[in-house]
Chains A and B, each alone.
Chain A
């Protein structure tokens, strides 16, 4: 492991060569939008919001998954990137059924926050109006697939931190959904420990605790980073 210097948005910064662009940007107060990333969990590289431009390659690279190296020159917020990020957010809204006014997470939703931060003021791609279900079979929690953005944070926290591996992704493409125990109702799960970690890490109102009405569901996901650090197996 060595220390490297690099430039992010024309600022000279330094870091270790086992750190990612995202980690170093955050240390230096440079904001790169993310949705699937959560400190303490493995990297998915799925939402593509964190893509940045790196000098010397024509490919856009995910900041969450790309290690820094000596002399790198990175741009995190060009007009092109902002445009791509807006469209990705629009795609997420168009793909599900997001009716914020009645959502438990209204006002505490990371999808909403990202849309506001990126200045998404209308949805320019056609709504797909999918038929999606709500599973309220669990005693304490529920999942409303209409609001799921398939970031797989719930899948990862359940497997990597809780060790239960209740969640998975089933089917593929536009039909993909998170599922519990081979697509059986969550309430029937033999593996779920009812720890609620998945609910806390879910960036939207897809996973919620029962008994909350619109706007009442706030989430705490910082415990993941803490737990993982305390157990000493940061990846």
Chain B
């Protein structure tokens, strides 16, 4: 049953504006929808500090996961001593089920490049890299095509638009591992080394690519830049919540009537997203939870459907914005099984450098497997919880630090499901292969 509601669809497009109206391979098409007006304006009318000031005042925060203020990051790189400076666009998108950045790169290659070029002007970089997941050949082809056309039109290369500013961009293919999306691992990978994270500080803003100050932002972050500068910081800051401005693109998937990409203002409630935009749960099933933030995220139960989605609220609920994956679950989903699925992902994607993540994810995966098979005791659960605490607090990078989150959040809201598997040897959703307790079989 799809719930009857007034059809109120609060979608708003900044990143996905003119959705489908333009040919992503034709520069003139992009120009027709005010493409490059921001770049031209910035290069001829604004100083780099003025650009950074606009970005800061807009309240834009990084869309790659952690929500770091974009203006502040630009300012730090601009002020960091040392030349040359580099810009990297992070298009490594490796979360299971995520395809937001892929869509943006495929549909709006010029917009991503316009954002990068503006950023390069603002921080004083002359070379940029687009690091794209190798599994996205169409995105790679369209970005390369866009670079060639922009070079032809003097929007990239030497003396852009007749100004003294020069900037070149190269596309680099991802090494194929999820962890290569982590900024220090990504930098190592571009430098031709094994894609392992390293301790921060020093942050890339200070010592990044080839030891030089480096700005690294996500695809969607860069895609926000041109519209933001075209319409102004105040306009951008008027959208969203107090601390989370603008919109966010989500990939809505799972047990939902209308799956797909959506773009909503920050602060839209989960209920609006799941029921108004997504059309609710199909087949008359009951809503159970939404998983956000991918393998570092958590599951939010129905009690919090009216929570506005922004960086702070998600963190408070034990989840994470992440890059924008949103998986809807209904009563037929087992939360222990979900936690085990994400742990398996983290275990196989761990780079293996640091002990807590390398060994801890394998240990936690084994314990979760024991639970779903009905072989675990309450001692195993206690060990699982203490490993969650250890791995979260001692791992080197965000992969390990976030890996316990799916377990912690399902324990927080669905502890009874864990207990049912361990004590009653029963999977409430009927998903897991728990063995029947022997005496029950005898009694039956």
Q: Does any Cβ of B come within 8 Å of A33's Cβ?
A: no
Q: Does any Cβ of A come within 8 Å of B128's Cβ?
A: no
- With A51-B394, A87-B390, A124-B383 already in contact, the answer to whether A46 and B354 are too (CB < 8 A) is yes
Q: A45-B198, A126-B366, A150-B352 are in contact. List 11 more A-B contacts (CB 8 A).
A: A48-B396, A62-B396, A66-B199, A84-B394, A92-B359, A150-B353, A150-B358, A172-B179, A173-B352, A176-B351, A176-B358
Interface size of A as a range: 35 or more
Instruction: Decide if A60 touches B177 in the complex (CB within 8 Å).
Output: no
Q: Does any Cβ of B come within 8 Å of A190's Cβ?
A: no
Instruction: Decide if A45 touches B199 in the complex (CB within 8 Å).
Output: yes
- With A65-B199, A173-B347, A174-B358 already in contact, the answer to whether A46 and B396 are too (CB < 8 A) is yes
> What secondary structure prevails in chain A residues at the interface with B?
loop
B330-374: CB near A (< 8 Å → 1, else 0) gives: 000000000000000001111111111011111100100000000
> What secondary structure prevails in chain B residues at the interface with A?
helix
Minimum CB–CB distance for A107 against chain B, Å: 23
* Other-chain residue from B177, B351, B394 in contact with A48 (beta carbon distance below 8 A): B394
A-B contact pairs, 17 of them (CB 8 A): A45-B198, A48-B355, A48-B356, A60-B394, A84-B390, A95-B355, A95-B362, A124-B383, A125-B359, A125-B363, A125-B383, A126-B363, A150-B353, A168-B194, A173-B349, A173-B362, A176-B352
Instruction: Decide if B390 touches A46 in the complex (CB within 8 Å).
Output: no
Q: Does any Cβ of B come within 8 Å of A227's Cβ?
A: no
Give the residue name and chain of the A residue nearest to B351 (CB). A172
Instruction: Decide if B396 touches A174 in the complex (CB within 8 Å).
Output: no
Contacts of A174 in B (CB 8 A): 347, 350, 352, 358-359, 361-362
Contacts of B179 in A (CB 8 A): 172
Give the residue name and chain of the B residue nearest to A170 (CB). B194
Contacts of A140 in B (CB 8 A): none
Q: Does any Cβ of B come within 8 Å of A44's Cβ?
A: yes
Q: Does any Cβ of B come within 8 Å of A128's Cβ?
A: yes
Give the residue name and chain of the A residue nearest to B360 (CB). A91
- Give CA–CA (A128, B394) in the complex, Å: 21
- Give CA–CA (A199, B312) in the complex, Å: 50
- With A48-B395, A88-B356 already in contact, the answer to whether A128 and B199 are too (CB < 8 A) is no
Q: What 3 A-B pairs are tightest by C-beta distance, nearest first?
A: A176-B352, A45-B199, A91-B359
Q: How many residues of B contact A (CB 8 A)?
A: 32
Give the residue name and chain of the A residue nearest to B194 (CB). A169
Q: Does any Cβ of A come within 8 Å of B154's Cβ?
A: no
Instruction: Decide if B199 touches A91 in the complex (CB within 8 Å).
Output: no
Contacts of A171 in B (CB 8 A): 352
A83-108: CB near B (< 8 Å → 1, else 0) gives: 01001100110110000000000000
Give the residue name and chain of the A residue nearest to B179 (CB). A172
Contacts of B198 in A (CB 8 A): 45
Contacts of A59 in B (CB 8 A): 393
Q: Does any Cβ of B come within 8 Å of A79's Cβ?
A: no
B172-210: CB near A (< 8 Å → 1, else 0) gives: 000001010000000000000010101101000000000
Instruction: Decide if B393 touches A173 in the complex (CB within 8 Å).
Output: no
- Give CA–CA (A152, B355) in the complex, Å: 12
